[in-house]
Amino acid sequence: MVDVFGLENLSRWVGLNDKRDPQKDRLSKFQPISQPRPKKVALALGGGAALGWAHIGFLQVLKEHKLIPDMVVGTSIGAIAGAAFASDRLNELESFARSLTPRKMLTWMDFSLARGGLINGEKLAKELHNHFGNSKIEDLAIPFYCVATDLMTGEEVWFNKGDLVSAVRASYAIPGVFVPVKTGNRWLVDGGLTNPLPVSAARHFGADKVIAIMLDDHWKNRGSIVETGSIAPSFEATSNLLSDIHFPFFSKGSSNDNNEKPKLYRVIIRSISIGQEKLSELQLSRFPPDLLIAPRLAGIEPFEFYKARTLIHRGRQAALLNLPQLEEMLSPDAIDDISHDESLEDISS
């Protein structure tokens, strides 16, 4: 039975009473902390569908340099990557991501138009179980939290204990695409609807400093007039391939062709993305992170999960470009020298 508690009429929690010490149960292969950091540092991983494969590359660099945060908070695809990192299964997630091709993506889509979503999601859930088993959130080596949304009330839901796969599955359940996930007496969907960049959740769970990874590198240019770019050839080729085998969610031809009526998947994803982008802007002003990193992801569509190689590389680039700042915040002897005045600087540019 999952307990759900209210939080000042703004958010809801699943499993509130978490008594873990965030300094305990570190992964043995990670470099031990020689002395406690003066501040608890959290990693907030934003949502963005396929763009989230960039999180893998970013997290790989942290692991390689033994820069381990005190906690990880994820939304949607950020929850998947965060769970893999916190449970030391990042390599498995990378292998899965790199194995995806346009045709293989179809094998993971168990269509179910009569159950509240285009895709039932049981096949993907089974794959998650293959990687995570019956892991509990409270047993992970690094404290982990993820965000979902109550479909009926619109409330934000924070998971900090219980079945890891169920929590992650709820966090990425894009409404209209995936069937909602039943948790207790709630139907849960994608956390990106209420908190696409979970800095506020990280603060609540005790983070003094937050490093946020945002999967939208256009956030500083809202309202600008820009020329319509040309479509990436790889997407055009894939669109033609999938249309030929009667896959109904990919439109044939250019995704930027305004003369052609958008297909269903594009309407759903772009509508959600627009809302999340606007909400992220608002949240950045209300809950600024101490370090904001936005990998360069322009030119890649949110459903191009088969572009893992490029996305992982760009995530690594973003981490390496910001490595000095990351070391200042995450090294064992890090000092408190990053102020909120610098928090919205896009230092990946």
Catalytic residues: 76, 190
CB 287 within 8 A of CB 212: no
CB 4 within 8 A of CB 17: no
Residue count (the chain): 349
Sign of CA dihedral 333, 339, 340, 341: negative
For residue 81, which of 51, 101, 125 has the smallest C-alpha distance?
51
* CA dist list (Å): 191 to 130, 171, 281: 23, 5, 16
| The token pair that represents 274 in the structure block | 């627009």
| The token pair that represents 267 in the structure block | 């309407």
CB 264 within 8 A of CB 177: no
Name the burial class of residue 8, with classes exposed (0-12), middle (13-18) and buried (19+) by CB atoms within 10 angstroms of its CB.
exposed
The set of residues, in sequence order, having a beta carbon less than 8 Å from that of 213 and lying 6+ positions away, is: 43, 44, 45, 46, 54, 55, 58, 78, 293, 294, 295, 318
